[in-house]
Structure 1
Amino acid sequence: MILKTLDNAIQVLNCFTKEKKAWGVRELARKLETSHTAINRILVTFEKNNFLTQDPETKKYHLGLKFVEFSEIVRGQFSITEAIEPIMQEISRKTRESIFLTWKENDVGVTLGMAESEERIKFSVSIGTRTPLYVGASCKVMMAYLSREEQLSIIDKGLRKFTENTPQNKEQLLKELDEIKEQGWSFTDGEYSDQVFGLGVPIFDTNGRIIASITIAGPEYRITEEKKIEMLELLLVEIKSIQQVFYNYI
């Protein structure tokens, strides 16, 4: 019942577009083929929480100021991406591999920025790609800094298998997360995509909470133990500048 109500509420918000910026209760009820009583209840709740505002004359509802706050948050995230792009490009130039900025959003990592390798064979994902926190260097390095309770909550929802190397054992995964947190970085090989390595380091907010990661990724045939050490040393140096950018924006 709760999920159904939440779904109806989301459908209501999705009706507010550039083409249709205001809605009355009954016309919205007709649009969604739902009782006007239910729609009115949803609209009133949104209004109380500043997600919607009602015109006193027309009685129609418009999007409220709460979305201005949200837009500032999202705009800030993308401003961060633009600010650290030169650093990411420099890391990519020196390593000749792709560099990714991954943002933590609840129990997934979202790709927000990328400096793509100039090599003919390279690893690449689309901006906006969402990946579970338990798989791949960029996500596991963030999951490692969550509380044990949060880690178990994510694991108990199930571990989807992306490749033969995707973590499937609960105890082994928890052990790996402890090791990642202790050393301050994560290296994975073929967990999210076959024959692709990842080397990730964490990014924190001013309160020390994990919020993002920077990762070097590429085809595994190009990675050697020596190159891995060189890339890690570079990443640990550059992450200091990247972290400072985050402090300035958050």
Structure 2
Amino acid sequence: MLQSLSSALQLMRYFTSTQPAWGVRELARESGTHHAVVQRVLATFAAEGYLVQDAAGRYTLGLRWFEMGEIVRHVVSPTQAVEPILQHLARESGETVFLTLIDGNEGLCLDIVHSDQQLRFSIEEGQRFALHAGSHGKAILAFLPPEQREGICANAARTDARVDLAVLDGQLAQIRNQGWAYTREESAAGVAGLAVPVWSRTRQVVGSIAISGPVQRLDEAAIPRLLAPLQLAQPKIEGVVGLLR
């Protein structure tokens, strides 16, 4: 019973912002699950309001997830406490600022304050991303327990031809040594990022705070100017988020 529930929930992970709709056979091929099983799972979720089927027979997420997400947002992400810190950091830096939490072996954008600049980095709340590329991911990956970190890196090398394990290991070692991550054009073309890890009260890394913007504005010369306010925001965010993990 629990295994069937786990398998059903794993299918829900395939519904993302970049792939919000799935047909039964399409999802079966992608997930490697028998189409009859996928059909039963999707039909069950649709009957309970968690999925909606369109005229073409494809399924998209239903409003039940939105309702539950609102509950999680209020319980897990105390917006009133976090957003003023992010807003202050965004005003001070002039760039987009966002808070990420680790979820499994991925990052999840929990809260964001966009820059007022016309040219800015685009990421949205609820967006997931790999941890091996970009300052926001590497600031988490570098401080994970060695076994988990090595597993994520090995998987990245298998799935992303651009990943060189030796180079990545060296970068992560440097991040651990200096306590912050800076990257250029790793997660998006023309974008640079600066990030610090977020720690729990038991000193486990649970996320990161990042400043991202165009490489023209966020170059290496800007690091000292941006790192200071980022590090000042770090313990304030940890005082809220770190208590949840």
TM-score with structure 2 setting the length: 0.70
- Structure 1 residue 201 displacement after superposition: 0.4
Counterpart among 173, 176, 192 of residue 171 in structure 2: 176
Describe the shift of the 1:194–1:3 C-alpha distance in structure 2 as closer, same or farther (beyond 3 A). Answer: farther
**What amino acid does structure 2 have at the position aligned with 1:14?**
F
- Structure 1 residue 189 displacement after superposition: 0.3
Describe the shift of the 1:244–1:167 C-alpha distance in structure 2 as closer, same or farther (beyond 3 A). Answer: farther
**Alignment match, 1:120:** 118
Write out aligned runs for 1:1-250 (5 A): 6-7=6-7, 11=41, 14=45, 17-18=48-49, 75-79=74-78, 81-159=79-157, 160-161=159-160, 168-250=163-245
- Structure 1 residue 89 displacement after superposition: 0.7
After TM superposition, the structure 1 stretch with the greater mean CA deviation from structure 2, 108-117 or 145-154, is 145-154
Aligned length: 196
2:138, 2:181 within 8 Å by CA — same for their partners in 1? yes
Identical columns (%): 25
**What amino acid does structure 2 have at the position aligned with 1:188?**
T
Q: Which has the larger radius of gyration?
A: 1
1:135, 1:167 within 8 Å by CA — same for their partners in 2? no
5+ residue gaps in structure 2?
A: 11-40, 51-67
TM-score with structure 1 setting the length: 0.69
**What amino acid does structure 1 have at the position aligned with 2:45?**
N
CA distance in 2, matches of 1:4, 1:18: 19
Describe the shift of the 1:222–1:149 C-alpha distance in structure 2 as closer, same or farther (beyond 3 A). Answer: same
Deviations 1:192-250 (A, max 9, x none): 10110010001111111111110000000112433221100111112121112224555
1:144, 1:178 within 8 Å by CA — same for their partners in 2? yes
- Structure 1 residue 9 displacement after superposition: 7.0
CA distance in 1, matches of 2:123, 2:5: 34
Cα RMSD for the two superposed structures: 3.0
